[in-house]
Amino acid sequence: MAGVPLVAYLALGLFLFSVGVVGVIIRRNPIVIFMCIELMLNAVNLTFLAFAKYMPSKLPTGTTPVAEASMSGQVMVIFVMAVAAAEVAVGLGIIMAIFRLRKEIDIDEMNLLRG
Amino acid sequence: MSANFGLIWIVIGLPVAGFLIQALVGKHIVGDGSGKRLAGFLAVAPIALAFGIAAYLTVALTEFAPGAREVVSPGWDWINIAGLNVPFELRVDPLTMLMTLIITGVGALIHLYATGYMGEEKEYTRFFTYLNLFIAAMLILVLGNNLVMLFIGWEGVGLCSYLLIGFWYKDLANAKAANKAFIVNRIGDWGLTLGIFLLFVVVAANHQQFNAEDGRFLSYDVLLPTLGKVLAGMPAVTTAIALLLFVGACGKSAQFPLYLWLPDAMAGPTPVSALIHAATMVTAGVFLLNRLYVVFELSPIASAIIACTGAFTALFAALVAFGQTDIKKVLAYSTVSQLGFMFIACGAGAYWVGMFHVTTHAFFKALLFLGSGAVIHAMAHNQDMRNYGNLRKYLPITFITMMVGYLAIAGIPPLAGFWSKEGILGYALANNHAMAANVNFSYIVGWVGLGVALLTAFYMTRMTWLTFFGPERWKQIPAHATAHGEHEDHAEHAHQGHHHEDHGPDKHGFFFSDEEMAAMPHEHEHHHDLDESHKPKEVSFSMWFPLAVLAILSFGGGWVLHNGNLLEHWLYPPGTMALNLEAHPHGIPLMALSLVAAVGGILAGLFVYWKGLPAKEGWDESKWNPFRRAAKEQFGYDAAMVSASVDGGRDVGLAFWRGADTAVVDGAVNGVAAGAGWLGASLGKFQNGFIRQYALIMLLGIVGLLGMIGLSFGRLANGVPTPPTVSLPPQTMEGQR
């Protein structure tokens, strides 16, 4: 278990996630916001993988190394990637539709449902 | 001979059939007016036939022994629930047959009269539809064998009265008079219903004592024989029942607090006034007191109240009659006054005399009303006595018959009114049934009654002399008091004010103000006016024939019924009543006194009115003396009641509307809506359209949520119980970790 320690993975994940959050909050271009959301999702993915790698096995000793580590974290990452891809497809579709309608995609101008 | 008493169903069925014929095919029979004779015949014939059958059954009833004259003719089950059975069944006994004979007999005569009187009416069949329906309802009231059926009839006659008072409904004043009659009667019905309910409660509580295995507890033949014994032990309840029933009787029979509707009811056609508002319906209260005499004879206090109410009403109405110039209004107040006499009799315990006066009054008051109708008919539908005079020259038959009625009501022997009135005063003066607080009210009201008898003779002389004697005043009507017909224009009426009195409470705007009424479109139904060139004509046969028959009855009917105690022993055979009453007071020469009262009243009237209309009673009312002006306005009672009930009711309604409805109910509803709106507007401010702000808030929320979850897990992990508040100092948490 040598090499990069767990805290380094988590620190990187926290950094990436923070960048994503700040980006979502301060940027007005939806494309960039999407990229930031992807950044946050990938930060979470990184965290999942890190924990999966370092999580002690609950299986009895003597089994294979691959099976020794928990697979659930890695499975979750596959799910997140699939959902993120679907989300991007839908989101970009919406952005295209809005652009065709309004010829601009500044997110602060999209306030038709203002109370 | 054993008669089939099931025939009594035909007596009721005939008016019902007449009603259905008139209602369903009457219009086709009349056609363009040529079929009026046939339609009139179809209206009169059922009533006359019913009278014949009723007379036959009455004769058949005499075959039975006195005291056993009671036949119940079963009909069908009506209310039958869990041990209580209220069937629809009819009762033949002396009291019901007396009333049936009056209703159908006088009713048939008045129907006949009406075929002539209403001859020019466009809605001929509608009139007879109502009139036949009235007879049917009145017969149900009288013949029904339980108080529930009585109540049906009671409401039925009230409805017919309403419909007939408002017969010329296009005239708003008539519609208002009809409403007034219906509403005031409703107050009486309130008392009647409560009285009946209380009686039923008493019966239900003591049902073992009643001999009713088939559950017919409320039928008179089960109820009446035992009711006296049951009620004897509970005087307070008996008095309560008696007074509540008397409230009902007050409404229908126009006694003092509730008499208000009867004078206004004169807005209806004159045959209606004669039949419903003099001869039959208004006597329903006296009938009720006779029907349930076992209740009333047990309560001296209630009897005292009844006698005093009757005496006060008799006196009050007699005084008001002096201020009336409308011939029908005089007769209306006279009716109220005579009804007061009937209640004096019932209060004194002499129930049969009450019925005696009902009978004779039906004869002479129907006669007087029909006679006044003939006069009105001959005088271009003008009802003001100040425009009459010397009509004996033009209407000889009407004059002679009305003179008989006038002498009968004035109490001149041997005419009908003398016997019944003398009977009332005799029983009142001789007995002490009506005792309250150790005062013998019976004696007091007897003397009051004697005084009212004098007043009666006085005001009836006034009416008769102004109408039939003196100069022909319609030829000298002042220009400012031009004669108006019965259905004149209201705009004019409102301005001239004092002339025509047949319009009920229009001064006090029952539903509309005078201005609104004046603005309403109005149809003239009669086109000729009373002026100098007017020639009164004697009425036709169909109109004077009933007058003649009623005159004969008014002349001899009282003596026949009085002779040999015929009516008393017919209604109450000796030994029936618990009360032991004296018919004649000792030491008071009553016969002489009532004769003095009658003759004195007439002489006083002659003294004043011999030369015609005195100047101080003329068209110009500002010259009237204050008493007469007050009497004309019923001493302010009508105005006070109308303003108290109508205006007061409106004020209460307004107070509830503004106070309760607008402020509380509407306030609650609007408040909820406004609150929701305010909440929505406040929360809507968060929805400002800045998507990035939403994201920030979501972030903060998630951070807060995660923080809370983290804290909770931290505490659970350390076994620390959850504190009541979530705000723990952070350093504590650090330490725990």
CA distance B483 to B524: 15
DSSP letters spanning B49-101: HHHHHHHHHHHHHTTSPTT---EEEEEEEEEEETTEEEEEEEEESHHHHHHHH
Tell me if B688 and A111 make a contact (CB, 8 A cut-off). yes
Classify residue B282: in a domain, yes or no. Answer: yes
User: How many domains in chain B?
Assistant: 3
Measured CA to CA in angstroms, residue B534 lies from A56, B386, B473, B476, B501 at distances of: 129, 15, 11, 12, 21
Dihedral, CA atoms, B654, B656, B658, B663, nearest 10 degrees? 180
Collect all residues of chain A within an 8 Å Cβ-Cβ radius of residue B692.
24-28, 107-108
Tell me if A28 and B683 make a contact (CB, 8 A cut-off). no
Tell me if A114 and B691 make a contact (CB, 8 A cut-off). no
What's residue A59's pLDDT? 58
What's residue B480's pLDDT? 56
Tell me if A107 and B692 make a contact (CB, 8 A cut-off). yes
Instruction: Extract the tokens encoding B254.
Output: 């126009």
Q: Are residues B580 and B506 in the same domain?
A: no
CA distance B501 to B486: 10
Q: Which ipTM score applies to this complex?
A: 0.77
Closest Cβ opposite residue B688 in set A21, A26, A114: A114
What's residue A80's pLDDT? 94
Supply the DSSP symbol for B146: B
Tell me if B685 and A111 make a contact (CB, 8 A cut-off). no
Q: Which chain B residue lies closest to A29 (C-alpha atoms)? A: B692
Task: Look at residue A73 and tell me whether its pLDDT is greater than 80.
Answer: yes
Say if CB B355 and CB B566 are below 8 A apart. no
Q: Are residues B422 and B560 in the same domain?
A: yes
| Domain span at B398 | 299-481+527-632
pLDDT, tens digit, 9 for 90 and up, residues B128-184: 999 999 999 999 999 999 899 999 999 999 999 999 998 988 888 888 889 989 988
Task: Look at residue B490 and tell me whether its pLDDT is greater than 90.
Answer: no
Tell me if B692 and A114 make a contact (CB, 8 A cut-off). no
Closest Cβ opposite residue B689 in set A25, A28, A114: A114
Percent of chain A topping pLDDT 70: 84
Q: Does A95 touch chain B (CB under 8 A)?
A: no
Q: Which chain B residue lies closest to A22 (C-alpha atoms)? A: B696
Query: Is B562 in a helix, a strand, or coil?
Result: helix
Collect all residues of chain B within an 8 Å Cβ-Cβ radius of residue A108.
689-692
Distance from CA of B654 to the nearest CA of A (A): 42
Average pLDDT, chain B: 83
User: What is the average pLDDT across B343-364?
Assistant: 91
In the listed set B504, B522, B540, which residue is the last one of a domain according to the structure?
B522
DSSP letters spanning B340-404: HHHHHHHHTT-HHHHHHHHHHHHHHHHHHHHHHHHHHHHTTT--BGGG---GGGT-HHHHHHHHH
Tell me if A115 and B683 make a contact (CB, 8 A cut-off). yes
Choose from B687, B691, B697, B699 for mutation: most chain A CBs within 10 A. B691
What's residue A63's pLDDT? 56
Q: Does B122 touch chain A (CB under 8 A)?
A: no
pLDDT, tens digit, 9 for 90 and up, residues B47-98: 999 999 999 999 888 888 887 888 888 888 888 888 888 889 999 989 999 9
Q: Does B528 touch chain A (CB under 8 A)?
A: no
Q: Does B688 touch chain A (CB under 8 A)?
A: yes
Task: Look at residue A4 and tell me whether its pLDDT is greater than 60.
Answer: yes
For residues A95 and A111, the model is more confident at A95
Q: Are residues B388 and B448 in the same domain?
A: yes
Collect all residues of chain A within an 8 Å Cβ-Cβ radius of residue B686.
115
Among candidates A54, A47, A62, A57, which has minimal Cα distance to A16? Answer: A47
User: What is the average pLDDT across B556-580?
Assistant: 81
Tell me if B690 and A115 make a contact (CB, 8 A cut-off). no
Q: Are residues B263 and B387 in the same domain?
A: no
Closest Cβ opposite residue A25 in set B687, B689, B696: B696
Task: Look at residue B195 and tell me whether its pLDDT is greater than 90.
Answer: yes
Q: Are residues B250 and B316 in the same domain?
A: no
What's residue B333's pLDDT? 92
Collect all residues of chain B within an 8 Å Cβ-Cβ radius of residue A115.
683-688
pLDDT, tens digit, 9 for 90 and up, residues B421-462: 888 988 888 888 777 777 888 888 889 999 999 999 999 999
Closest Cβ opposite residue B687 in set A107, A108, A115: A115
Closest Cβ opposite residue A114 in set B687, B692, B695: B687
Q: Are residues B313 and B260 in the same domain?
A: no
Sole residue written with tokens 């003196």 = B470
What's residue B52's pLDDT? 93
Collect all residues of chain B within an 8 Å Cβ-Cβ radius of residue A32.
none
Q: Which chain A residue lies closest to B681 (C-alpha atoms)? A: A115
Q: Are residues B225 and B303 in the same domain?
A: no
Collect all residues of chain B within an 8 Å Cβ-Cβ radius of residue A25.
692, 695-696, 699
Task: Look at residue B527 and tell me whether its pLDDT is greater than 70.
Answer: no
Domain regions of chain A by residue span = 6-107
What residues contact A29, with CB distance under 8 A and at least 6 apart? Answer: A105, A106, A107
Say if CB B336 and CB B324 are below 8 A apart. no
Interface of A with B in 2-31 (CB under 8 A): 21, 24-28
What's residue A70's pLDDT? 64
Choose from B679, B687, B688, B692 for mutation: most chain A CBs within 10 A. B692
Tell me if A111 and B690 make a contact (CB, 8 A cut-off). yes
Classify residue B179: in a domain, yes or no. Answer: yes
User: What is the average pLDDT across A61-80?
Assistant: 72
Q: Are residues B459 and B376 in the same domain?
A: yes
CA distance B371 to B134: 22
Tell me if A110 and B692 make a contact (CB, 8 A cut-off). no
What's residue A61's pLDDT? 61
Q: Which chain B residue lies closest to A111 (C-alpha atoms)? A: B689
What's residue A57's pLDDT? 58
Please provide the distance, in angstroms rounded to a whole number, between the alpha carbons at the two ends of chain A: 55
Among candidates B475, B476, B520, which has minimal Cα distance to B494? Answer: B520
Percent of chain B topping pLDDT 90: 31
Classify residue B444: in a domain, yes or no. Answer: yes
Q: Poorest-confidence range of A64-73, B168-177, B664-673, B723-732?
A: B723-732
Closest Cβ opposite residue B699 in set A21, A108, A113: A21
Collect all residues of chain A within an 8 Å Cβ-Cβ radius of residue B684.
115
Q: Are residues B622 and B565 in the same domain?
A: yes
Distance from CA of A21 to the nearest CA of B (A): 8
pLDDT classification of B474: cutoffs 50, 70, 90 = confident
Task: Look at residue B7 and tell me whether its pLDDT is greater than 70.
Answer: yes
Collect all residues of chain B within an 8 Å Cβ-Cβ radius of residue A111.
688-691
Query: Is B435 in a helix, a strand, or coil?
Result: strand
What's residue B700's pLDDT? 92
Tell me if A112 and B689 make a contact (CB, 8 A cut-off). yes
pLDDT, tens digit, 9 for 90 and up, residues B622-635: 778 888 888 888 88
Return the CATH number of A6-107, one of 3.30.830.10, 2.60.40.10, 1.10.287.3510, 3.40.640.10: 1.10.287.3510
Tell me if A108 and B687 make a contact (CB, 8 A cut-off). no
SS (HEC) of B311-346? HHHHHHHHHHHCCCCEHHHHHHHHHHHHHHHHHHHH
Q: Does A76 touch chain B (CB under 8 A)?
A: no
Say if CB B539 and CB B398 are below 8 A apart. yes
In the listed set B632, B664, B692, which residue is the last one of a domain according to the structure?
B632
For residues A60 and B327, the model is more confident at B327
Distance from CA of B698 to the nearest CA of A (A): 11
Q: Poorest-confidence range of B139-143, B490-494, B502-506?
A: B490-494
pLDDT classification of B642: cutoffs 50, 70, 90 = confident
Q: Are residues B347 and B333 in the same domain?
A: yes
Distance from CA of B666 to the nearest CA of A (A): 28
Percent of chain B topping pLDDT 70: 90
pLDDT classification of B523: cutoffs 50, 70, 90 = very low
Among candidates B364, B356, B453, which has minimal Cα distance to B403? Answer: B364
In the listed set B276, B292, B308, which residue is the last one of a domain according to the structure?
B292
Q: Does B682 touch chain A (CB under 8 A)?
A: no
Classify residue B420: in a domain, yes or no. Answer: yes
Q: Are residues B532 and B512 in the same domain?
A: no
Q: Does B696 touch chain A (CB under 8 A)?
A: yes
Classify residue B152: in a domain, yes or no. Answer: yes
Size of interface A-B (CB pairs under 8 A): 34
Classify residue B428: in a domain, yes or no. Answer: yes
What residues contact A22, with CB distance under 8 A and at least 6 apart? Answer: A36
Q: Are residues B364 and B280 in the same domain?
A: no
pLDDT, tens digit, 9 for 90 and up, residues B252-306: 998 988 888 888 888 888 899 888 888 888 889 999 999 999 899 888 899 999 9
pLDDT classification of B529: cutoffs 50, 70, 90 = low
User: What is the average pLDDT across B302-313?
Assistant: 92
Q: What are phi and psi of B77, to 5 degrees?
A: -65, 140
Helical packing angle, B94-117 and B284-291, nearest 10°:
170
Classify residue B658: in a domain, yes or no. Answer: no
